[in-house]
Amino acid sequence: MADDNSPTKQTGTSAMWGGRFSSGQSDIMEAINASIDIDQRMAEQDIQGSLAHAAMLGATGIISSEDAAAIQRGLEQVREEIRAGGFPWSKALEDVHMNVEARLKEIIGEPAGRLHTARSRNDQVATDFRLWLRDACDRIDAGLAAYQHALVQQAEQHVDQVMPGFTHLQTAQPVSLAHHLLSYVELAERDRGRFRDARKRLNESPLGCAALAGTAFPIDREMTASALGFDRPMANSLDGVAARDFALEVLSAASICAVNLSRFAEEIVLWCTKRFQFATLSDAWSTGSSIMPQKRNPDAAELVRAKPGRIIGSLTGLLVVVKGLPLAYSKDLQEDKAPTFQAVDDLELALAAMAGMAADLSFNPEALEEAAGEAYSDATDLADWVVRELGRPFRDAHHIAGSIVRMAEDKGIPLAALSLQDMQSVDKAIDESVFSVLSARASMNSRTSFGGTSPTRVREQIKAWSARLAGE
């Protein structure tokens, strides 16, 4: 069924809705109207929905059980043909719904025309799209779980690895590398929660809302809803065909998730530079430069960093499409799928890349440890010692430690290299035991508060995460 000699073209009007039309469409009308290039990705869901609808029409006696059975057999054949590849999608038939129905007609003849009883493409497309997004949420959840798993495995190897923790990208306090990695596991878990929430809310069936007002046929919406794995039929037929907030929610979750991924991607880019030298990516995750032979570029991390541009673009695009649309269905809503499919594809690829890179990173213990001890990252430990051992208020201790840091800075040496006399010139009460807290490792080990970076606490978190991810 090639575009040019399809039955539609020959008769000049659509066989599906052409009853009151006498002449054919402009080619440009056909081009702007057709969505088949995009929505053929919902063919599986479309057939699933039609199978459920046909079974219900048969069970309620709206069509004969023979016709229902013929339709079901025919749909299964169409599904096989589509799965086999090379299905002759026709632009003249506009969209996936009419392409499937037209092929069904070729296969089974007259009963095919009964499938669309008590249904409209408006509830059909809303049903297909919800089913497609439900699967997408599940795939994204699996992608996030794989990413978390890779992070936890890296964390297991690096609990005692000290590195600088940053605020303002200035060296702040030493932390465990595992603690740093686990923070992304927490973030990914909240992303999973957002997709779960979206999935739960979208899992209602619009099928049977028909064009907008419901139908006069005695349909059984509970039956189709449960056959399709929906929690319930949607309670308002206008809402069923008009709502696209479910796609907006998935795109919002995707946007937040992409932004979250971009933060670790950015750190990978930084860590792999000569300036940081915290980590390297293997050849599998690096590219070279066509002019500079020495270059190893973290292109995948850069591309993940860029993905929010596209994914937020999809969210913004669909928000603008839906904004101000009066109820119920308008063709504007056909523009929902391209940005959504694009965003889901981008996010799935970004997740796979992040899981791959998280597993691939190899860390440079010397560079991490050296950087952890730089830039007076133990200054807070000095102030805390003054509070704890000398009983001073924190504000005063902060001042004392600040003066000692300035002195060390003037001499160009770390705090631990100052003499006790130097320290005592700032505060006479300081004694030798102060030196025990002045190292990056001592600093990391000391932060034993719940959620803190001490290896003891981090090991507990790793254990909890391993058990949780293994139990899924």
Residue span 334-363 as binding mask against ligand ARG, x where in contact by CB under 6 A, dash where not: x-----------------------------
* Complex with ligand ARG: residue 218 or 326, whichever CB lies closer: 326
When binding is defined by CB under 6 A, the residue of 122, 161, 171, 314 that contacts ligand ARG is 122
* Complex with ligand ARG: residue 6 or 364, whichever CB lies closer: 6
CB 207 within 8 A of CB 221: yes
* Complex with ligand ARG: residue 14 or 255, whichever CB lies closer: 14
* Complex with ligand ARG: residue 73 or 116, whichever CB lies closer: 116
Shortest distance (Å) from residue 95 CB to ligand ARG: 4
Annotated active-site residue 168? The verdict is yes
> What are the residues whose beta carbons fall under 8 Å from the beta carbon of 263, sequence distance 6 or more?
184
Backbone angles phi, psi at 166, to 5 degrees: -115, 145
Shortest distance (Å) from residue 334 CB to ligand ARG: 4
* Complex with ligand ARG: residue 94 or 267, whichever CB lies closer: 94
Shortest distance (Å) from residue 185 CB to ligand ARG: 38
Shortest distance (Å) from residue 373 CB to ligand ARG: 60
Q: Which range binds ligand ARG by CB under 6 A, 7-15, 120-128, 217-225, 288-296?
A: 120-128
* Complex with ligand ARG: residue 333 or 386, whichever CB lies closer: 333
Q: Which range binds ligand ARG by CB under 6 A, 21-29, 117-125, 137-145, 343-351?
A: 117-125
* Complex with ligand ARG: residue 125 or 152, whichever CB lies closer: 125
When binding is defined by CB under 6 A, the residue of 79, 103, 121, 447 that contacts ligand ARG is 121
**Residue 119 found at the interface with ligand ARG (CB under 6 A):** no
Shortest distance (Å) from residue 206 CB to ligand ARG: 12
Structure tokens at 180: 């740093």
Vertex 205, ends 201 and 211: CA angle to 5°? 125
Size of the site for ligand ARG (CB under 6 A): 10
How many Cβ atoms from other residues are within 10 Å of residue 19's Cβ? 8
Backbone angles phi, psi at 157, to 5 degrees: -80, -15
Q: Which range binds ligand ARG by CB under 6 A, 121-129, 219-227, 295-303, 370-378?
A: 121-129
Residue span 255-294 as binding mask against ligand ARG, x where in contact by CB under 6 A, dash where not: ----------------------------------------
Which 3-state string (H, E, C) describes the chain?
Answer: CCHHHCHHHHHCCCCCCHHHCCCCCCHHHHHHHCCHHHHHHHHHHHHHHHHHHHHHHHHCCCCCHHHHHHHHHHHHHHHHHHHHCCCCCCHHHCCHHHHHHHHHHHHHCHHHHHCCCCCCHHHHHHHHHHHHHHHHHHHHHHHHHHHHHHHHHHHHHCCCCEEEEEECCEEEEEEEHHHHHHHHHHHHHHHHHHHHHHHHHHCEECCCCCCCCCCCCCCCHHHHHHHCCCCEECCCHHHHHHCCHHHHHHHHHHHHHHHHHHHHHHHHHHHCCCCCCCEECCHHHCECCCCCCCCCECHHHHHHHHHHHHHHHHHHHHHHHHCCCCCCCCHHHHHHHHHHHHHHHHHHHHHHHHHHHHHHCEECHHHHHHHHHCCCCCHHHHHHHHHHHHCCCHHHHHHHHHHHHHHHHHHCCCHHHCCHHHHHHHCCCCCHHHHHHCCHHHHHHHCCCCCCCCHHHHHHHHHHHHHHHHCC
When binding is defined by CB under 6 A, the residue of 125, 268, 311, 383 that contacts ligand ARG is 125
Chain positions 31 to 60 lying near ligand ARG, rule: CB under 6 A, are 35, 39
Rounded Cα distance between 268 and 280, Å, is 9
Shortest distance (Å) from residue 120 CB to ligand ARG: 7
**Residue 67 found at the interface with ligand ARG (CB under 6 A):** no
Chain positions 135 to 154 lying near ligand ARG, rule: CB under 6 A, are none
Annotated active-site residue 289? The verdict is yes
How many Cβ atoms from other residues are within 10 Å of residue 426's Cβ? 17
When binding is defined by CB under 6 A, the residue of 333, 372, 400, 430 that contacts ligand ARG is 333
Shortest distance (Å) from residue 331 CB to ligand ARG: 6
Q: Which range binds ligand ARG by CB under 6 A, 49-57, 81-89, 326-334, 349-357?
A: 326-334
How many Cβ atoms from other residues are within 10 Å of residue 21's Cβ? 12
Chain positions 70 to 99 lying near ligand ARG, rule: CB under 6 A, are 95
Identify the active-site residue in 22, 168, 290, 433.
168
Identify the active-site residue in 289, 330, 362, 403.
289
Chain positions 174 to 213 lying near ligand ARG, rule: CB under 6 A, are none
Structure tokens at 248: 């907006």
Q: Which residues are catalytic?
A: 168, 289
Enumerate binding residues for ligand ARG (CB under 6 A): 35, 39, 95, 121-122, 125, 329, 331, 333-334
